[in-house]
Amino acid sequence: MAPLPNAELVQNSLQLYRYLLRCCKQLPKENIRQHYRHAIRQSFKVHADEDDPERIQQIIKRAIEDADWVMNK
């Protein structure tokens, strides 16, 4: 399963959040979708106070790579 197109256009945390939730919609089983939606929400809560732009870009890059891995799993 390929990731959604336009991952390279993700520039901020809200765009990343939406991108990841759209990726979840492509997963085959509801329990798997629920698991990853919960994980996405938890990660955003953990990183909500992050204010270093460089660190935010690192988090975005890693999240997209992880989404790629999950979608191809």
Sorted by where each begins, the domain ranges of the chain are 10-72
Mean pLDDT of 7-28: 89
The pLDDT assigned to 11 comes to 86
pTM of the model: 0.83
The pLDDT assigned to 3 comes to 56
Contacts of 16 by beta carbon, 8 Å cutoff, 6+ apart: 10, 59, 60, 63, 64
